[in-house]
């Protein structure tokens, strides 16, 4: 089993996504399988209920037309009337099938989540217990209680091998947790009290040690419960663009309805009164049935594509907003860089040797269990042959932990005090003990900062004498491929801003190497909020990622706030998306998925409106050519008979919905480019293609229909 790690710098985001997809079986889930049409057919039939059809005005009109056609086909049966009524019902059914297939994927994912929900027994601690250090206690007084009886605020004890009974935050202890049931990632992860990795999810399993968890969710409102509801589509609400497009389609439907109604008096006056079935067929072919049938499926599929990438969107509005993002706020650590800064060089100052600096740096870092502290010890062991383990004297010495106030850490061994930390903090400490910082130190510090590194100054006091030994260079490595990804975002018209707590010199160097457009250095939570509001006041949409409680206000303020699953409950509640893989670079993929959904909707709308043109040339000459022979000139497809022309148009109108279901589910391929370039491509492919395709399709269908007795010439 892979050792638990907080970061995995050896794996790129794309590789990690592919490995995760292989483990969860979601690579195949993203590919359309024709069998899905058959498995979703029962759901499509259930959706023929008029109460369901009423939610989609365009398809409700088709449903009413199908009912009328059926009634007239029963009253005056003929091959033409029966076939037309049947294909109108197929049109409604295929529209339902598109939605059912999209929902079916979500239901399959929801079912796998339901299987992980079990009746868990919780061990609740009695009220009034001081939890500090309680996880290490040999015995605790607990009471057994069903997990569904837990309330927010309850404290529960979870030991190795037990299932965490509900969502919560670890308030004491540290443990490795198997989250594969949620994320699909087989490697366990570390969760510990304090910091930004304290949140745990109900249904996951503790593999080692024991922890005390404060429950934060009510029964039935856990993270898994919400995931099930969301991936099933039960809580999917129409996005603003989807609502606006629905209104537009409804208006077009009303206009064409009035046009068709007005045709009958004109036809009667001309001596060629049309049957209701022909008028219904004309109406169904003229209204935008294609996009009306696929609109819901496009929205569901957009959220499904996020779920396939292990991102849970709390609403379709968030997915759509991601496609309109103008500004992207990205944390430096863990997003743009790997996050674990490592000691790469020791730079002594005049008066000290590199060996003396190495000895002092090792001593100051022995008790420092941060990745940076451990890397300093590793460097001293590897490059200078020093001992990796503390001696008995060193182990008994008094360690000085790092604090935000002192900005230093170190060790006190008798009258020898060693410190490492920020240059200004060490300077003040040395001055306090009667020493002085050599000018060379500031030169080295400034150079390391300008090059994008982090300088730690090492000093010591021995026998009352204070002196500086030198500077440790910590390097933060930019993830490979970030510059190219930011270039893609720039091509989309998105401005990237790196947010970091580093000093401006370090931030500038990292920003230049990564290729971001701007940076915010020495950022505090209120600075993030101010930046987001400033951008939003300019009419721009802002997206950001975060995982800590201090990120919650900014996540809530951002138009798209992506919280890490490893983060605190407050962060996950504030964001409108949760990344189950806790990969901050996923935000770039989320933006691409949002844009893909918008482009898919626009492309299919263009295609739907464009392919109506061929139907005019098919049905209108068929209706009136008998009394207006001049209309034969616009029968450019040379369709066999009026009956075959109308039937071919109706059949094509139904079949094109089935043909476009895979595209609606998969999405139109998105390549980063300007809005004008995307518009030109859509008009060329889906505008011109939407005109040509039905001419060819209707003609081919007419050749087959004309072979049927009663339809040929």
- Considering only CA atoms, which of 484, 493, 517, 540 is closest in space to residue 677? 493
Edge-to-edge strands, sheet with 408-413? 342-348, 465-475, 454-462, 416-421, 408-413, 398-400
Phi, psi of 400 (to 5 degrees): -115, 105
What six digits make up the tokens of 287?
Answer: 């209204």
Q: What share of the chain is helix, strand, coil (3-state, %, to 5)?
A: 55, 15, 30
Give CA angle at 24 (18, 28), nearest 5°.
70
Q: Facing residues of 560 across strands?
A: 543
Q: Is 402 annotated as a binding residue?
A: yes
Q: Is 172 annotated as a binding residue?
A: no
State the Cα–Cα distance between residues 124 and 131, nearest whole angstrom. Answer: 12
State the Cα–Cα distance between residues 601 and 229, nearest whole angstrom. Answer: 24
- Do 323 and 241 contact (CB within 8 A), yes or no? no
Q: What is the DSSP letter of 233?
A: T
State the Cα–Cα distance between residues 587 and 561, nearest whole angstrom. Answer: 9
Q: Is 403 annotated as a binding residue?
A: yes
Which helix (H) or strand (E) segment holds residue 331: the answer is strand 327-331
Find the catalytic residue in 167, 178, 209, 331.
Answer: 331
Q: Is 409 annotated as a binding residue?
A: yes
SS (H, E, C) 245-292: HHHHHHHHHHHHHHHHHHHHHHHHHCCCCCCHHHHHHHHHHHCCHHHH
| Cβ neighbours for 138, distance < 8 A, ≥ 6 positions apart | none
| Cβ neighbours for 510, distance < 8 A, ≥ 6 positions apart | 332, 336, 337, 452, 476, 478, 498, 500, 502, 519
Q: Is 404 annotated as a binding residue?
A: yes
517 annotated active-site: no
Q: Is 666 annotated as a binding residue?
A: no
- Do 113 and 231 contact (CB within 8 A), yes or no? yes
Q: Is 420 annotated as a binding residue?
A: yes
Q: Is 232 annotated as a binding residue?
A: no
Q: What is the DSSP letter of 549?
A: G
Q: Is 408 annotated as a binding residue?
A: yes
Q: Is 406 annotated as a binding residue?
A: yes
Catalytically annotated residues: 331
Residue list, annotated binding site: 368, 372, 402-409, 420, 547, 551
Residue list, annotated binding site for ATP: 368, 372, 402-409, 420
């Amino acid at each position: 089993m892979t050792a638990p790690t907080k970061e995995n710098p050896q794996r790129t985001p794309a590789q990690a996504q592919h490995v995760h997809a292989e483990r969860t079986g979601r690579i195949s889930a993203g590919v359309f399988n024709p069998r899905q049409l058959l498995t979703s057919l029962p759901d499509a039939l259930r959706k023929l209920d008029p109460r369901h059809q009423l939610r989609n005005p365009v398809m409700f009109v088709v449903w009413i037309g199908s009912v009328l056609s059926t009634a007239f086909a029963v009253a005056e049966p003929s091959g033409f009337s029966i076939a037309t009524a049947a294909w109108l019902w197929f049109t409604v059914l295929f529209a339902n099938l598109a939605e059912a297939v999209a929902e079916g994927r979500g239901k399959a994912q929801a079912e796998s989540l339901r299987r992980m929900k079990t009746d868990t027994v919780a061990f609740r601690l009695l009220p009034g217990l001081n939890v500090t250090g309680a996880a290490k206690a040999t015995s605790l007084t607990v009471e057994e209680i069903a997990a569904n009886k837990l309330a927010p605020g309850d404290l529960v004890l979870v030991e190795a091998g037990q299932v965490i009974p509900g969502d919560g935050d670890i308030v004491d202890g540290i443990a490795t947790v198997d989250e594969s049931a949620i994320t699909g990632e087989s490697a366990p992860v570390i969760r510990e009290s304090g910091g930004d990795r304290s949140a745990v999810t109900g249904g996951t399993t503790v593999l080692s040690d024991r922890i005390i968890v404060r429950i934060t969710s009510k029964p039935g409102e856990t993270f898994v419960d919400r995931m099930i509801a969301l991936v099933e589509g039960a809580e999917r609400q129409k996005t603003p663009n989807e609502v606006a497009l629905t209104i537009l389609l409804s208006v077009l439907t009303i206009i064409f309805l009035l046009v068709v109604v007005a045709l009958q008096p004109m036809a009667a006056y001309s001596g060629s009164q049309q049957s209701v079935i022909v008028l219904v067929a004309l109406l169904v072919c003229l209204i935008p049935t294609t996009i009306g049938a696929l609109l819901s499926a496009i929205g569901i599929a957009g959220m499904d594509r996020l779920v396939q990438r292990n991102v849970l969107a709390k609403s379709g509005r968030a997915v759509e907003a991601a496609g309109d993002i103008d500004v992207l706020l990205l944390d430096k650590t863990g997003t743009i860089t790997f996050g674990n800064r490592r000691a790469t060089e020791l730079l002594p100052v005049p008066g000290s040797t590199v060996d003396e600096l190495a000895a002092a740096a090792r001593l100051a870092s022995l008790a420092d269990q941060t990745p940076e502290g451990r890397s300093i010890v590793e460097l001293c062991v590897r490059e200078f042959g020093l001992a990796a383990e503390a001696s008995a004297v060193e182990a008994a010495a008094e360690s000085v932990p790092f604090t935000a106030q002192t900005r230093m850490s170190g060790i006190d061994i008798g009258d020898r005090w060693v410190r490492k930390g920020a240059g200004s903090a060490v300077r003040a400490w040395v001055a306090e003990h009667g020493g002085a910082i050599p000018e060379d130190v500031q030169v080295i510090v400034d150079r390391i900062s300008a090059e994008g590194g982090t300088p730690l100054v090492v000093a010591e006091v021995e026998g009352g004498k204070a002196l500086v030994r030198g500077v440790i260079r910590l390097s933060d490595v930019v993830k490979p491929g970030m510059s190219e990804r930011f270039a893609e975002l720039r091509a989309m018209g998105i401005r990237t801003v790196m947010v970091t707590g580093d000093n401006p010199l370090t931030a500038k160097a990292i920003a230049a190497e990564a290729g971001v457009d701007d940076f915010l250095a020495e950022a505090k939570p209120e600075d993030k909020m101010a930046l987001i509001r400033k951008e939003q006041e300019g009419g721009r949409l802002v997206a950001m990622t975060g995982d800590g409680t201090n990120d919650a206000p900014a996540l809530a303020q951002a138009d798209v706030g992506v919280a890490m699953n490893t983060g605190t409950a407050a962060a996950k509640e504030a964001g409108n998306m949760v990344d189950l893989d806790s990969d901050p670079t996923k935000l770039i993929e989320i933006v691409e998925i949002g844009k893909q959904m918008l482009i898919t909707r626009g492309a299919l709308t263009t295609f739907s409106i464009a392919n109506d043109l061929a139907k005019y040339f098919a049905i209108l000459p068929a209706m009136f050519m008998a009394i207006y022979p001049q209309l034969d000139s616009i029968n450019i497809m040379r369709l066999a008979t009026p009956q075959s022309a109308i039937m071919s148009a109706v059949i094509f109108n139904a079949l094109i919905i089935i043909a476009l279901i895979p595209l609606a589910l998969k999405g139109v391929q998105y390549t980063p480019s300007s809005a004008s370039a995307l518009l030109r491509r859509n008009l060329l492919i889906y505008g011109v293609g939407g005109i040509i395709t039905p001419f060819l399709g209707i003609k081919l269908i007419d050749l087959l229909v004309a072979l049927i007795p009663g339809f040929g010439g």
